[in-house]
Amino acid sequence: MAENKEILLRCSKIVKEFSGNRVLDQVDFDIRKGEVHSLCGENGAGKSTLIKIISGIYPKDDGVIYINGNPVDIHSRQDSTANGIAVVYQELSVMTTLTVAENIMAGKELTKFGFLQKKQMNRRVQDLIDKYDLGLKATQRVAELSTAGRQVVEILKALITDASLIIMDEPTASLSYKESEALFKIIRSLRDNGVSILYISHRLDEVYMLSDRITVLRDGKLVGVFDKEAEGGIKPDEVIQAMVGKSLSTERQKELTPGSGKVVLDVRHLSHRGYFNDISLQVHEGEILGIGGLVGAGRTELLRSIFGVDPVTAGEVTYLDQPISRSIRQNIKSGIGFISEDRRSEGFVPQLSVEQNAEMINFGAVSSFGVLSKAKERARAKKMIEEVNLHPADPKYKVANFSGGNQQKIVVGKWLIHNCKLLLIDEPTVGVDVGAKSEIYKIIEDMAANGAAVIIRQ
């Protein structure tokens, strides 16, 4: 099946700038009919922007998009849907109190004189489900479906628009291994039926397995297109090199010797039923332990369960030779810190100032008998601003107005001045520019060098 497949979508010299910052620089990109094409690149490489341009959310500043050889104007979501493009987002937007069919046909209901033709709609949806062997019932209530099932509903929403290109953004982020396998089967089935899939994922093993071609972006430019059909197939090293720009062995700032200090955290056979099972690990003083793995959802849940946000159904955790507390407040007091991956909804209070956010985790340090002390607040904020090199260095500035990188520095900073003995970090550099990213890594390394134990999920 190695014939020259026709090109479905072609982007030519796409340019996009945000306040003087060139996010996409003359990007050429094309997708063939009936292929699975992955788009790879680090955070900030421009993948997300390119997708948003193709799906009509952002207008492009320059360049042309061709569909089936004809130049098209895509200015809105409707335009892109009209051109056969559909997107399945990472955040599921399903209406849980409705049935599968109702969700899919919402906005496109079949009616006769204003009355719904429920039977026909259910039939239409069920036919589509059966065509791709998706295993759902059109009359099920979405509330009863698992995350994987809901994602299938999202895919169905794309399919019902007769899409010729389905863009999937990190679809396996919250799926288990088996559910991911089921998804891959669906993707292959779609491809065999002539639908093109644009697959975006950080999970390179999935990408290698699924893709017919891989396009790599770096710093807004196209750096490589890898084809399975080419000589030697797709070489993972080359892909990574293209993404990162240098070989994998990056320079390290400090030599950290793992496993030398005292055991700070000892996790034994920890389980949270349904999310992770029988996890055991140890972290020592001054050590940075990275956790990775295919079953992505489990890693965040592990950190949250250790910290006390989520429950634990089996196993034990010992912190500094004592059983860990289930109370978040207590854990913070005893020196455990937690940085969530979603800083905007869980990291800070946007309308409050830097100073006020800085004291969130330990009011005791800036108050006496419940009354805040301006002097102490100011001192604490000043210290934090200096240590993380916050820009602009104004303690009264509202956190909402900082850039993403600086916001994350505030989030990390407040733990930094808390002198944690254990830091649980979940994806600290999502959506952070390159400069701030390296600064944040340095901060984390410094904390470890000062004796903290760090668990980091990247």
Per CB under 8 A, contacts with another protein among 168-197 are 176-178
Q: Which is nearer to another protein, 1 or 371 (CB)?
A: 371
DSSP three-state, residue 257: coil
Total residues contacting another protein (rule CB under 8 A)?
73
Q: Which is nearer to another protein, 14 or 234 (CB)?
A: 14
Residue 192 CB, nearest approach to another protein (Å): 26
Query: Of residues 78, 193, 257, 438, which one binds another protein by CB under 8 A?
Result: 78
Per CB under 8 A, contacts with another protein among 342-361 are 345-352, 356, 359-361
Query: Of residues 19, 249, 250, 322, which one binds another protein by CB under 8 A?
Result: 19
Q: What is the DSSP string of 16-57?
A: EEETTEEEEEEEEEEEETT-EEEEE--TTSSHHHHHHHHTTS
Residue 97 CB, nearest approach to another protein (Å): 5
Q: Does 35 bind another protein (CB under 8 A)?
A: no
Closest to 380 in 3D by CA, of 411, 398, 403, 357: 357
Residue 236 CB, nearest approach to another protein (Å): 23
Q: By CB under 8 A, which span of 108-116, 224-232, 237-245, 440-448 interacts with another protein? A: 108-116
> 71: cis peptide before it, omega within 30°?
no
Q: Which is nearer to another protein, 403 or 419 (CB)?
A: 403
Q: By CB under 8 A, which span of 143-151, 215-223, 237-245, 282-290 interacts with another protein? A: 143-151
Measure the CA–CA gap between 267 and 327, rounded to whole angstroms: 17
Site string for another protein, 308-347 (x = CB under 8 A): -x---x--------------xx-xxx----x-x----xxx
Enumerate the β-bridge partners of residue 181.
Answer: none
Q: Which is nearer to another protein, 24 or 453 (CB)?
A: 24
DSSP three-state, residue 372: strand
Instruction: Compute the Cα dihedral for 427, 287, 445, 423 and give only its sign.
Output: positive
Q: What is the DSSP string of 133-186?
A: T----TTSBGGGS-HHHHHHHHHHHHHTTT-SEEEEESTTTT--HHHHHHHHHH
Per CB under 8 A, contacts with another protein among 423-452 are 430-431
Query: Of residues 63, 236, 404, 451, which one binds another protein by CB under 8 A?
Result: 404
Q: Does 363 bind another protein (CB under 8 A)?
A: yes
Q: CA-CA distances (angstroms) from residue 316 to 44, 265, 304, 409, 421?
A: 38, 11, 14, 32, 19
DSSP three-state, residue 366: helix
Per CB under 8 A, contacts with another protein among 262-301 are 273-275, 277
Q: Which is nearer to another protein, 44 or 84 (CB)?
A: 44
Q: Does 119 bind another protein (CB under 8 A)?
A: no
Token couple for 394: 């104004």
Closest to 215 in 3D by CA, of 71, 20, 45: 45
Residue 336 CB, nearest approach to another protein (Å): 10
Residue 306 CB, nearest approach to another protein (Å): 13
Q: Does 205 bind another protein (CB under 8 A)?
A: no
**What is the separation of C-alpha 150 from the centre of its chain, rounded to a whole number of angstroms?**
18
Q: By CB under 8 A, which span of 26-34, 249-257, 400-408, 444-452 interacts with another protein? A: 400-408
Q: Does 102 bind another protein (CB under 8 A)?
A: yes
Per CB under 8 A, contacts with another protein among 49-68 are 49, 52, 58-59
Q: Does 111 bind another protein (CB under 8 A)?
A: yes
φ and ψ at 453, to 5 degrees?
-100, 135
SS3 content of the chain, % helix, strand, coil (to 5): 35, 25, 40
Q: Which is nearer to another protein, 233 or 274 (CB)?
A: 274
Token couple for 68: 């089936």
Give helix then strand counts, H and E, for the chain: 15, 22
Q: Does 48 bind another protein (CB under 8 A)?
A: yes
Under a CB-based contact definition with an 8 Å cutoff, are residues 37 and 196 in contact?
yes
- Angle at which helix 404-416 crosses helix 434-449, to 10 degrees, equals 10
Q: Does 12 bind another protein (CB under 8 A)?
A: no
Per CB under 8 A, contacts with another protein among 212-271 are none
